[in-house]
Amino acid sequence: MSTLSEHEREIILSSIRDIPDFPKPGILFKDITTLLNNPKAFKTLMDHLHTRYGNYELDYIAGIDARGFVFGATLADRLGLGFVPVRKKGKLPYTTVAQKYSLEYGYDEVEIHIDAFGHEGKREDGKRSRVLLIDDLIATGGTAQAAAELINRVGAECVECCFVMELGFLNGREKFSQNVYSVIEI
């Protein structure tokens, strides 16, 4: 299983900009737009993910709205797999399945197309489709955990949840029954 070298970690980490007091005072926001527009850092990240997941025998990559789309679609292309978007409720045009998750004040929902991973989430050989879920950040884990549940609810198998960054002090990974991999822990 591939892990980052210290040099690769530094290339990626140094390309992520800190924005103090965004979106509100006291929060240090990790801005990945600077990673996306840095060709060396983005290539380093995507090369690492390609190496890590090349032998996972995946059928699909699912990415969470919206930054997970960038990493997920790029990785799916590199691995020769289909990409499935996990979106906020009301954004997908076909029949969907939704999953609620709790926020600090209230609830939100994510959804996927009911046939996103084949009929009843199965491959042509009748086995469950193997799916990697990817997003840019895991904080408390609510959105990603709901997305992983959705993948399993439609009959596919979420084999791992991958995040570019993890805010480890928030313990978000504890919500998951799936394996969780973070490229960089903050």
Active-site annotation, residues: 67, 104
Residue type, 81: L
DSSP symbols for the chain:
-----HHHHHHHHHTSEEEET-SSTT-EEEETHHHHT-HHHHHHHHHHHHHHHTTS--SEEEEETTHHHHHHHHHHHHHT-EEEEEEETT--SS-EEEEEEEETTEEEEEEEETTBTBGGGB-TTSSBPEEEEEEEEESS-HHHHHHHHHHHHTT-EEEEEEEEEE-GGG-GGGG-SSEEEEEEE-
Report the amino acid identity of residue 36. L
